[in-house]
Every structure is written in structure tokens, then in C-alpha cells.
Structure 1
């Protein structure tokens, strides 16, 4: 990268937040796909104004920008496959700004870790359902940019179902707000919906307003043992057709059961054709027991 660009970024956000050394190029060159593309540098914006200035400068100087959360995705959205600079939110823009209990919303910066938000919501009796497999380290900004799902998706939906509003920066540096923090928002274009799952290709998300729901009062887990894969799949169909929507259903075939039992010795029935492990939640134990009985 041209030294004049490096000097601009260092003057804008400080040398501690503008890194062009080999170590940072290697550290930010891969994601969960394990493919490797070294960026020219890594920038750590301190706030939305930094993001705006960076995008404006890069747009004027034809420098590629790659927004990056935790780098846990499998789609390559965080990879600098054509060079340019990685824009990372993990260092500064990683705060839960607000949890509004009355309106049941959370306002977060893109670098907030999914599990940290879940825990903060649970502490005040609220619940943020989207739970991607990477929930312990993936960022909310990355979840929104990839429209992440998770085990609870069947009952509670995926990330897009909880995004109420976004703040974002367009490629020319203009700051926009899309959506509202109200449940009913029917006027105008659904700009927030367009930005969800766009992987940073349309704008850089700088703030996210998320819907929270009441924390489920009770939860139970049950395991069903079946002689074959087909009988287990029929049980899934019959469960859903009966009007019961489990929080999650995990399926293991006979090979998976034996592999898990060999590795962890959990007491699983190794002679089973398949097993289904189901999580069910509800307002009281009678409802949960009724769902499990079905």
C-alpha cells in the first residue's frame, strides 16, 4: 500500500489502530473456511465517525474495504480476497449500549459477542434467541451481515427476525439509519432488511437495535431412541404436524452415536438406529410435559 495512505490512516485513528505489519496481515488473513488472503492492513475504528472518514477516503482512492467481525464465518465475507484493508470492530466498537427493559430492545455495536448479549439479556429476565454454533465468539455485526441462524431457529427464527433498526455507513462516508425501534414499522423501503446478509458489500453496520423477548420460564430436554433413521424423521414430522415446535432437535444416526459414545462415553444406546434429542420450553411444566408426550 502507498505510504501516503498508511500515513493518512495513522493520522486519522492513531498508529495503535492502523496496522500494516506482517503479523497483523497474517492474523487477519483467514476465517473459518481456512482460506488465506492477506490484507494490506488492518484498521480498528474507534467510533462511527472513524468508519465514515475511512470509507470516504477509501472510496475516493479506490481502496478495498473488508468489514470483519470475529472471522468465524464460512462464506468468506471477512476475507480480503482482492487485498485492501480489513475494518475490524473487535477492539473498540464492541459495547452493549443499552438494554431497554420496557420496550424490550437492545442497542449494540457490531463487535459485541453474541453470547455476551444473551447473558446480559438473561440477567434482566429477557431473551435473545439467535444462537449460531459460533455464539461464544461470533459478533453481532457478523451475525447480522451473514443473517446467522442456530439451533433455536425452528421455534424462534434467525437473526433477521430480531433486527429492528441499523445505523450504517455508505461507501461515500454518508451515515444512515434504517428501521425503527418499534414493532410496527410499515412505512417506506425496508433498507435494514436489504443490509441484513449483505456481508458488508452495501454498507458498514455501526449500530444494531435488536428485539428481545421474555425469558422462557421452564425448559426440558428429552431423548428419543428409534430403530431407524426413517422412523426418527417421521417422528420429527409428526411432532411439527401436531403443533409442537421444539426449541431445538438434534439428530444422530447410528454412526454418529457410536462415534460420540467412543469419544465421550455418555451412555448413549449404541445399538439404536437413530436418536433425537429435543429441547422444549414454555410458560409452565404442564405445557412442556404435554409437548414432550406428543
Structure 2
């Protein structure tokens, strides 16, 4: 249990208005997307990196568990205070895009920046950040890095780890480190940034992220293949990926999912189909899209597709 002296020390670090041990805050920060519930003993909102360092140093000395948290949208329990301790809530103050470097195609952000907001900001400059987890409307980039989030575009563009170039982070003893570099090629020393990615906050608290950007493709098209059964749909996926084209995304729905979606949203999906594949391609020229869609149509039909529709 945290005694009052610990709470007062934490308040002296971050201010009275940024440290809470009332029931409302403890309940609000006791769960994530798993719906499991473990109440923390306090919720602390660090204002800057110095606060994070001071909090971790104090808690390390007094053996108080610290659980970094972004939006709490993860499905692995990484933000749950299973052993009590304090929630280090990063969304209040660590929510700024620090730099979008159009010349070098990189960006620096704080961990509380929401994925979707970041994507929209870089797309306004004609750039593209591909990782798009299903929770992108509210999940934070710090959480994405800590969980190595992917998304539907992972088939072509990869996942979060493929875009992290450097990190600033605070170690449990309060030391601040910088791992990685703002360059594409970095072979000097250990890959410490790679170790921190997907560590779920167990090794350090991330305070700044440097991300790689790419040019945004000008065009995209979507298509749907209807299949008599699951096996034929899966064979179509394998054959497509081996055909020399890589779709941006390839989403599979079995019959149960098709009927559930159609019952709820009335999209005109074929409820008697054994399975459907919904796919997307992108590129800078109409001819590129047409070529990819033709290959998709051929590979789908070779594997039992009974209807191929282009949106």
C-alpha cells in the first residue's frame, strides 16, 4: 500500500493537480481493452521528462510499481496495474507533434499523440505513416510502440517497429537515454530502440519517438472476392502474395462474420458466401492499380472466386 508520505512526495514532484488517489481516478484507470480490472494506488500525470525521471527514481528507491499508460486501448494487459502501484498517465501533457521534417521524411512526436491525428497531420504535407491499428482513432503512438502495433496495411507496409528510428526514454533509476538515430542506416552499437519496442513499458518509459515517413501514394482502389468456402479464400491469399504484387490490405470474413456485418450495417454483402476477401491496392498511376487489380482478379478466380467486384 502507498502511504500518505509517498502520495505527498509524488504531489511535490508533479503538483497537487496532477496526482490523484481518489476512487474516481483509480476506477477510471483500472482497466484496458481486455476488460480486466486492477486498481492502481495512485494516478500521476507527469508534465515533462524531468517529472518522469524524478517519479521513476523515487519509485525505484521505494520499490513502488510504475505502469506507463496511454489510451488504455491495448489487448495484452500492458497498461494494467496487476501488482498495484501507480499509473503513469502520459496522455495529458505528452501529446504534441514536435517536428515533421519533410526534407528527411521523419517526424518527432511525444508518446501521447493519437495515431489518427498524427496520420492526418503528415498527410496534409503529402507524407504517409502506414501503421494503422484498429484503435487508431484513439490509441497513442507511445502505446503503439510499446505494443508494436500493426494494422490492416501491415501486409504491404509493415508494423510499428519498421518505422521507429529513435526513442528517448527514462530508465527505472531515472536516467534518460536516447536510442537510435535520425538516419536510415544506424549500425553503431546495440539496437536499444529495438529492445524497447514491444516491451510494454517494462524496461523504460518512452518520452519521445522519432518515426520514419514515406511519400503518400496518390491513388487507391478496393475490391472484394466472393468464395464458396474458407479453404478457397485462403488459397487465394497465398497465391496472390506469391504473384509479385502486395496488396495494401487483405481482410478475410467467414460466413458468420458476413452475416453479422450485414445484419448490423446492411452493406449488401453476400450472406450465402462461404467467405469473402476484401482487399486494397495503391500506387501513383491508374495503370499500376489496373495491373494489380487484374492480377488479383486472376488469382482469386483461379482459386474458386465466384464473384469479383471492384469498388
User: What TM-score does the superposition give when structure 1 sets the normalisation length?
Assistant: 0.98
- Provide the rounded CA distance (Å) in 1 between the counterparts of 2:36 and 2:158: 30
Aligned residues: 294
RMSD: 0.8
Report the CA distance between 1:234 and its aligned residue. 1.4
**Which residues of 2 match residues 1-294 of structure 1 at below 5 A?**
1-294=2-295
Q: Deviations over 1:82-135 (max 9, x none)?
A: 000000111111111111000111100010100011000100000000011100
Report the CA distance between 1:70 and its aligned residue. 0.6
Unaligned 5+ runs, structure 2: 296-311
- Provide the rounded CA distance (Å) in 1 between the counterparts of 2:93 and 2:235: 49
- Provide the rounded CA distance (Å) in 1 between the counterparts of 2:33 and 2:133: 13
Unaligned 5+ runs, structure 1: none
Q: Secondary structure at the match of 2:167?
A: strand
- Provide the rounded CA distance (Å) in 2 between the counterparts of 1:23 and 1:216: 45
Report the CA distance between 1:270 and its aligned residue. 1.8
- Provide the rounded CA distance (Å) in 1 between the counterparts of 2:147 and 2:30: 19
Report the CA distance between 1:188 and its aligned residue. 0.5
Q: Deviations over 1:128-165 (max 9, x none)?
A: 00011100010100010010111000100000000000
Report the CA distance between 1:229 and its aligned residue. 1.4
Aligned to 2:298: none
